Each structure stands twice: as structure tokens, then as C-alpha cells.
Amino acid sequence: MKFIENFFQGIRPDFEEGGKYYKWATPYHTFFTFMFTPDYVTKKGSHIRDSIDLKRALFMVIIALIPATLYGMWNLGYQHFLAIGETASLMENFWFGFIQALPMILVSYIVGLGVEFLFALKHHEGLQEGFLISGLLIPLIMPINVPLWMVAVATIFAVVIGKEVFGGTGMNIVNIAITARAFLFFAYPTKMAGSKVWIDLAGETAADGYTGETALAIAIEGGTEAVNAAGMSLMDAFWGHIPGSIGETSTVAILIGAFILIYTGVGSWKIMLSAIAGGSIMALIFNWLGGSYFPDNLYLQLNWMHHLVLGGFMFGVVFMATDPVTATQTETGKWIYGFFIGLLAILIRTVNPAYPEGMMMAILFMNIMAPMIDHYVVEANIKKRMKRLKAAQAAINN
């Protein structure tokens, strides 16, 4: 390691202020601090510091995403061979998906980091780590058949409009990856919904009777029974061999990620738990309403547990709702925020006739509501303090 250290240290003066490559300080600094935690020592305040930094914290999210990513790749292959009516081995399935998903991941990272580099160069700053997660999340919540140029356009839109105009990492109002998805959803709806986008046929023809529809699309028409009949029972959906966006299908893989996030303290268990509670309650209400008053509406009667394991619900709860920048900051606020994400996701999913999924909209909406929730939580604390002050003043005056 010493020679790498010597190399970086040797060229360091060139990239410092006054050096001949000073204008390229951003890429130098980014690579240097990637390879080495810098030799900065504490100058003010506490002399010792915790070992955690933003790199480590966000690296934990990447680790937590690995199970969902790998499973998603396998499932792409599995769905492909299922659609064309062939059977394939585990490795064949995985390899097919890997080849399909890798370009999307690369495009997302290269384009997104490229844009971030431009902004960092302009402001003469080091690169902050936020996009390392967004760059992986963006492909994981896309249908596989989205063209690569659309991934690139969406990423540029999300990084520039969603993040940099607000001041960069830590300043954005809405989740970056969701912004990218929402952009494509409204700009190119035909590429983001329907029965053609989830399965990559890779030029081959689908087997007879294969529709390629997602479980939620089927549920609109036929409810729980039709979903089960289509081979997407509760357990199938829980394990995840169903059509859907790359990362979202396997609840098991997502729960492994959730465990990592919660155990390391990087993701908020309060948000996750309350979102699941909110979703369950809403689904149970619809189950009851559907059973008692709207027997014709089979989507209302989709089993509440099924709701939780289908579509993007769990992926959104674990990886998107917990984004600390766009979620509420107060611990009490996290309970409220999570609960309403779950509740709204199922509400939008069930009563919006145009599109069978609601997670994206729910998270976007609650991202925007988060500062208001925090405001009222903090306001309650302020009121308590003001009341105490008044009581103390009254005691003096008497």
C-alpha cells in the first residue's frame, strides 16, 4: 500500500491551491479520499471522533442492496426463460439477467457521477457520496425494458433538478431515485407500465398463453384468486419469482437488506415498521369494505398480506422511505412519516384506476410533507418549553 500512498502524496502539491493541476482538484481529491481516509486531525471540539463517516454509512446501504440486486438479476433470467417457455439452470438465469441489468447500472452511475463531477468542479469542492446509493437504486426500480438513453435522461433530470439545484447532497427535498422514476413515468408512460415492459424477451417470441403482466395488474381484474392462479401466490411473491422492476420482487432479499440497515443503525426501523403497519391497516380496511359493500371490486379484496409482498411496497419501505435526507428528522416524526407512506401507498394503489401501483407517489408525497411533520413535532416541544417558562414567570410574579 505504501507505493500507492507515496504516489498520491507525491502528486498532492500539484492539486492544491496554486498547483499546476488545481482545476482538477475535484477528481484527484475524490480518488485520493476513496483510497485513503485523509490525515485530517481534529482542530476544534472533541479530540477523538467516531470511526463512522458518510462513506461507511452509505456503503452499508450498498451492502444491504446486494441481496436484492443479485436476486433481481437471477429473476430477470428466470422470467425470460419462463416467458419463452424454456427452462434454464441457476447460472444461465443469473447470467442472462446480469448481462441485461449491468448496462443500466453502469449508465446510471457514469451519467449521474458525471453530472455530479461537473457541479463539484464548478464549485471547486470534493464529491459527496450521496449518489453512490442513488446510482444503484435508479436501475433497481426500473422495468428491464427501459432503453438506456431513457435511464440516462432520467438520471440527469434527477441529479440536476432533484438535487443540485437545492444545493447537492443532504439538501434535496425528494428522493433522487424516485425523482428519476417519476420523470420517466410521466414523460414516457408507455415504457413504464403495461404488460410488455417487465420481461425481456430478447427478441424471442413469448410462449402461448404468456401475458407478462405483473401481479398487481392481474389483481385489478381478478383479485386474490386470479393472482394465485397466475402462479403468484403469497409465498411465490414472498420469495420473489414474479415479474416486476429489477430489485423489487423478492421480499426475502429485501428483508435481508432491512436487517443489515437496522442492525448497523443506518436505516430507521421506526419508518420501516410504521410503514408496514400503515399499509396493513389500509389494506385491511379495504378488505373489509370490499367484502361488505363492494363485492364486485376484486382489487379491494386482495389479501392484505399479499399487498405487502407485491409490487414495490417492501423495496420502497426499506430503501426509499428510509433515505435520511428526505425523511423526517425527528424520531417522533419518523413514526408518522412511515405510517402515512404505507397507508397512502395502498390507498393510491387501490383506488387509482389508471395504474396499479402507488408506492412511488406515496413516497414523493410524504417527502414533501416531511418538513411539515417535523415542524409540528418540534412545535410541540417548543410549546412545552413556553408553558414551563410561563409557569415559572407566574410563580415569580405572585
Partner 1 sequence: MSNAITIKRGLDIKLKGSADKVIGNVPPSDVFAVKPADFLGLTPKLAVKQGVEVLAGDALFYDKKNPDVIIPSPVSGEVVEIKRGAKRKILEVKVLADKEIKYRDFGSVDPKGLSTEQVVEKLVKSGLWSLIRQRPFSIIADPTARPKAIHISCFNTYPLAPDYDFIMEGKQALFQKGIDAITKLSDKVYLGLNGKTGFSKPFESITGVEVNYFKGPHPAGNVGTQINKIAPINKGDAIWYIAPQDVMTIGRLFESGKYDASKIIALTGSEVKGPQYYEVLSGVKISAVVQDKVSNDNVRYISGNPLTGTKVEDNSFLGFYDDQITVLPEGNQLKFFLTDGWFGLGLKKFSVSKTYFNWLMPNKEYALDTNLNGELRSFVMTGEMEKVFPFDIYPMSLVKAIIINDIDAMEKLGIYEVDAEDFALCEFTSSSKINIQQIVRDGMENLREELY
Task: Name the residue nearer to partner 1 (CB basis): 128 or 280.
Answer: 128
Minimum distance from residue 320 beta carbon to partner 1 (Å): 15
CB atoms within 10 A of CB 132: 18
Binding to partner 1 by CB under 8 A, coded x per residue (else -) over 339-368, reads ------------------------------
Q: Look-up: residue for cell 396499479?
A: 356
19 touches partner 1 (CB under 8 A)? no
Rounded (10°) angle between helices 131-140 and 148-157 = 140
Which of 35, 91, 102, 229 forms a contact with partner 1 (CB under 8 A)? 35
Task: Name the residue nearer to partner 1 (CB basis): 95 or 166.
Answer: 166
Minimum distance from residue 359 beta carbon to partner 1 (Å): 22
Nearest to 181 by CA among 169, 193, 170: 193
Minimum distance from residue 178 beta carbon to partner 1 (Å): 17
Minimum distance from residue 170 beta carbon to partner 1 (Å): 3
Residue 358 contacts residue 352 (beta carbons within 8 Å): yes
394 touches partner 1 (CB under 8 A)? no
Q: At CA 239, angle to CA 358 and CA 252, rounded to 5?
A: 80
10 touches partner 1 (CB under 8 A)? no
Task: Please report, in angstroms and rounded to a whole number, the separation of the first and last CA atoms in the chain.
Answer: 73
7 touches partner 1 (CB under 8 A)? no
CA distances to 14, 18, 135 from 9, rounded to whole Å, are 10, 16, 30
265 touches partner 1 (CB under 8 A)? yes
Which of 3, 18, 40, 398 forms a contact with partner 1 (CB under 8 A)? 40
Give, as ranges, the residues between 84 and 103 that touch partner 1 (CB under 8 A): none
Helix (H) or strand (E) holding 119: helix 90-123
What grid cell was written down for 390? 410561563
Beta strands in 68-176 (DSSP E): none
Phi, psi angle pair for 297, to nearest 5°: -85, 100
Give, as ranges, the residues between 99 and 158 that touch partner 1 (CB under 8 A): 126, 128-130
Contact stretch for partner 1 (CB under 8 A) within 135-143, 236-244, 290-298, 371-379:
371-379
Task: Name the residue nearer to partner 1 (CB basis): 32 or 304.
Answer: 32
Q: What is the CA radius of gyration of the chain?
A: 24
135 by Cβ neighbours in 10 Å (0-12 / 13-18 / 19+) ranks as buried
372 touches partner 1 (CB under 8 A)? no
Minimum distance from residue 58 beta carbon to partner 1 (Å): 8
Which of 197, 325, 345, 362 forms a contact with partner 1 (CB under 8 A)? 325
Q: Which residue pairs from 92-97 have beta carbons closer than 8 angstroms and sit at least 24 positions apart in sequence?
A: 94/70, 96/202, 97/72, 97/73, 97/246
Task: Name the residue nearer to partner 1 (CB basis): 351 or 386.
Answer: 386
Which of 195, 211, 264, 280 forms a contact with partner 1 (CB under 8 A)? 264
397 touches partner 1 (CB under 8 A)? no
**Whole-angstrom distance, CA of residue 148 vs CA of residue 145:** 9
Which of 27, 33, 188, 234 forms a contact with partner 1 (CB under 8 A)? 33
**Whole-angstrom distance, CA of residue 61 vs CA of residue 57:** 7
54 touches partner 1 (CB under 8 A)? yes
Given the rule CB under 8 A, which residues bind partner 1?
1, 4-5, 9, 33-60, 126, 128-130, 167-171, 263-266, 268, 324-325, 327-331, 334, 374, 377-378, 381-382, 384-386, 388-389, 392-393
